Structure 1
Amino acid sequence: MREPTFLILAALGPGPLHGYGVIKAVEEMSQGRVRLRAGTLYGALERLEADGLVAFDGEVSDGGPPRRNYRLTDTGADLLAQEAARLRANADLAVARLGLRGT
């Protein structure tokens, strides 16, 4: 799984967000390293929705134009958990291997 996809799914972990909320959450989680453009995000959300990983969760409006909310599906949450475990295992392996340097 590519990092932007992982971060989009992680952004939706706590609950539904609209596109701008996802963009800001991804930027914050990555400490500014990953900055999604709107076109990139909405293309990814369409793909993730087609794959059953995210779902449309209604529109909200705070006086401005309505914003589409998206939520993580159970399938998306399961995949995110699996990917997080895989990344954690790989990181643990790398740290252990680094500990063997010079021995």
Structure 2
Amino acid sequence: MFGKFAERYAKFKRYVKWLYSLYELNTQIAICEPWEKVFCHVLLGCCVSLILYASYAYVPSYCLLLISILMPISSNTNITNNMICTETEAGICSDSQSFLT
């Protein structure tokens, strides 16, 4: 049993190394020096984390709507039902609730 686990772990390790080398070759980081690789990885990590933070902090209702569309849960109410607005003759919502947040 342990041999089978070790074999699967070795196969998974080779697969992760292969994905990392594929990432390096596709982004042309493979030709950089080690300090340049670290700089590129940190820069990429910062950009991804800023995008994730901004999407969480500034557009949470859109993120929740996207999550509810991608992973529907039957116990939760549909978020789009809360965004329905009855318009008056002037074409604006009669509710004082803001639908942008």
- Alignment TM-score > 0.5, same fold: no
Q: Which structure has the larger Rg?
A: 2
TM-score by length of 1: 0.31
Higher relative contact order (CA 8 A, sep 6+): 1
Where is the helix percentage greater, Structure 1 or Structure 2?
A: 2
